[in-house]
Chain A
Amino acid sequence: MREVSRDRIKAFLTLLPSIVLIGIFVYGFIGNTIWISLTDWGGVAALAEHPVKHFIGIQNYVDLFTGFLEGRFRQDMVNAVFYSVSLLAGAVGLGMFIAILLDRKPKGEDFLRTVFLYPMSLSFIVSGTIWRWMLAPQGGVNILPTYAGFKPLTFKWLSAKTTVLAFNWQNLLQIGLYLVAVITIIIGFIVYRNSRSKSVKWLAIGALSGLTAWIGGDMLPKALILEEIHGFNLATLGIIMATIWQYSGYTMALYLAGFNGISQDLHDAAMLDGASTSAYYTHIAIPMLKPITISAVIILSHISLKMFDLIFSMTGPDNAETGHPALNMYLTTFRANEFARGASIAIVLFLLAATFIIPYLITQYKQRRTR
């Protein structure tokens, strides 16, 4: 008993420096940022000796999502969503594909692994510089076809003005409901095999929100007074491509490590049973590596949420077409001196991060308990 309590003190002492550093830097500052975001701190005298701050509640957040002037922030959010989704699909898909190729142990596997992984170690500023140069309108990728005798491409990778999948921000609520409907119905079909009752619940939620959106339609409250169109800006394609280039090697490494962890016996048994190579991966190996897929998704979402350097070096911080909430936060805070508004953008980003960190932590914690 006494041994245990002495242990506790020693443990406390070894952990103390880290707890202090992390505690102050992380939680103290999150608290501080939340507080700032609830005030009206900003403007010309923002950096005076004793700046004037008033508590104004959640007004900053209301302005961000429904305010007349913050249209750019809303486009940034839309960009971030499309950006995350394309990065996830691209980097996980490509990484998985390369990992399967390398899992067949070709000659020079060691060399190939390193070559595919190295982009990850580069600074985003460096890779941004490279890709900006390669995607220049009259250079790089666009002139490559001329070497094979074709016409050069004319696509403006980083400055195209085209927007696809456009929608009106006024109908945000309706679109949100449709999205909920689609997602829950998909989940309903996935769990159908395991549990009928759960599946019915999911399908019911989906049908309900879908119906509300469909029938409610125009009666639902509008998020804005005026029509405001947002969508997927094609100018972000170059940035998405550069990020996939940089991180597909990383997901490849995760999957490769996972494939190596699957015992050779299992592989041989599957092959003896007459499974084809593709069946082995789709029905056995990939489902077994679900934890790896989850960590890859989490790490990539995290990267797309904190994306700053790459866009900064590829298109500059001021380019509205390729904006991102993190860049917007930087400009709002340090160019316009609107500290409170900037803090509220930061908190929105935190909340987005929390939506995937918290479920992840809970599942991890439960898994370890049962073990």
Chain B
Amino acid sequence: MNRSRRLSTKLIYAFILTVFLVWSLFPLFWLAITALRPNLGPLQMGNPFVFSPSLDNFCSVLSGKNLLPYFLNSLIIGLVATFLSLFFGVLAAYGLARFNFRGRRLALQWILSIRLLPPIGFVVPLFIMFKALNMLDTPATLIIVYTAFLLPFSIWMLTTTIQEIPKESEEAALLDGNNHFQVLIKIVLPSLWPAMAAVALLNIVAAWNEFLFALVFTSKKAVTLPVAITAFLGDRGVYWGEISAAALLTAIVPVLLLLLVHKQLYRGFGHWGVK
């Protein structure tokens, strides 16, 4: 009796988990089989599960629709913005974590709060400024904006990490005559690498996926992948095969990065909730 009840509990449990597994994976699976399906016209459905797979759609978006430049734009903008946000972020985090000054705690809370403001509110003044500077549709514009918007999160994550590193060896190094900059490079950075890697990957994913600013500030030369994809949605009906291939190419980068970093990410979540 008891044993059969335990077995049925286990079965129900496994069943629920499977349902969630399907719920989570099915959309990506659907995207993949659509991308592998050749010659799908704008309004055709057909049988989505029976077809002979081919890479036609990928070839056509990469060569015919010329997705490659947008891919490069996304990559360059993401990498540079991530590098800059980490560079300034480490400096600021060290300052916030290690120097005593009034209002330090408030400064940290203030920085965190900025992350919660809706970005749409900044679009108009930014647009006016970049238009006046003749900087619309250049990668530099998006790099500057992304750096500014990635900074709060970077500073906050790095500060909480530095605060957890014991101070003693840094104080010893300072007494030995090193200045703060040397201490930062020689002692803090080596133990900060894992956190920096996690923040860097999250930042690059955020920059890679960003849509609103890219939509408003670019038109041709500096267009990034998400904006390029929406162009497929517009003209002459939707070619689902091609757009799925493009979407899959866009999705690959963040999903792979997430797989790389998910352990650190969980540690970060622990932080976040408790603090």
Q: How far is the CA of A316 from the CA of B275 in the complex (A)?
A: 39
Contact B244 A302 (CB under 8 A): no
Which of under 10, 10 to 19, 20 to 34, or 35 or more describes the interface residues of B?
35 or more
Closest to A346 in B: B121
Q: How far is the CA of A95 from the CA of B106 in the complex (A)?
A: 31
B65 to chain A, nearest CB (A): 15
Q: How far is the CA of A4 from the CA of B98 in the complex (A)?
A: 12
Q: Which of B17-37 contact A (CB under 8 A)?
A: 17, 20-21, 23-25, 27-28, 30-31, 34
Would you give the 0/1 interface string for A1-41, flagging 1 where the beta carbon is closer than 8 Å to chain B?
00010011011111101110110011011101100100000
Quick check: which of A208-216, A218-226, A305-313 contacts chain B, the rest being far away? A305-313
Interface of A is mostly: helix
B95: chain A residues at CB < 8 Å are 10-15
Given known contacts A10-B95, A357-B116, A118 and B255 CB-to-CB distance under 8 angstroms: yes
Q: Which of B88, B99, B121, B125 contacts A17 (CB 8 A)?
A: B88
Contact A291 B116 (CB under 8 A): no
Q: Which of B118, B122, B257 contacts A305 (CB 8 A)?
A: B118
B21: chain A residues at CB < 8 Å are 112, 115
Q: Which of B14, B115, B209 contacts A123 (CB 8 A)?
A: B209
Contact A308 B273 (CB under 8 A): no
Q: Which of B114, B118, B244, B262 contacts A306 (CB 8 A)?
A: B118
B152: chain A residues at CB < 8 Å are 22
B233 to chain A, nearest CB (A): 7
Contact A130 B109 (CB under 8 A): no
**9 closest pairs, A vs B, by CB?**
A14-B95, A11-B99, A292-B273, A123-B209, A257-B270, A346-B121, A309-B211, A257-B269, A18-B92
Using a CB–CB cutoff of 8 Å, the interface residues on chain B facing chain A are 13-14, 16-17, 20-21, 23-25, 27-28, 30-31, 34, 45, 48, 88-89, 91-92, 94-96, 99-101, 105-107, 109-111, 113-127, 131, 145, 147-149, 151-152, 155, 180, 205, 208-209, 211-212, 215-216, 225-226, 229-230, 233, 240, 243-244, 247, 250-251, 254-255, 257-259, 262, 265-267, 269-270, 272-275
Using a CB–CB cutoff of 8 Å, the interface residues on chain A facing chain B are 4, 7-8, 10-15, 17-19, 21-22, 25-26, 28-30, 32-33, 36, 47, 98, 101, 104, 106, 112-127, 129-134, 136, 138-140, 143, 245, 249, 253-254, 256-258, 260-261, 289, 291-292, 295, 298-299, 302, 305-306, 308-309, 312-313, 316, 326, 329-330, 333-334, 339, 342-343, 346-347, 349-350, 353, 356-357, 360-361, 364-365, 368-369
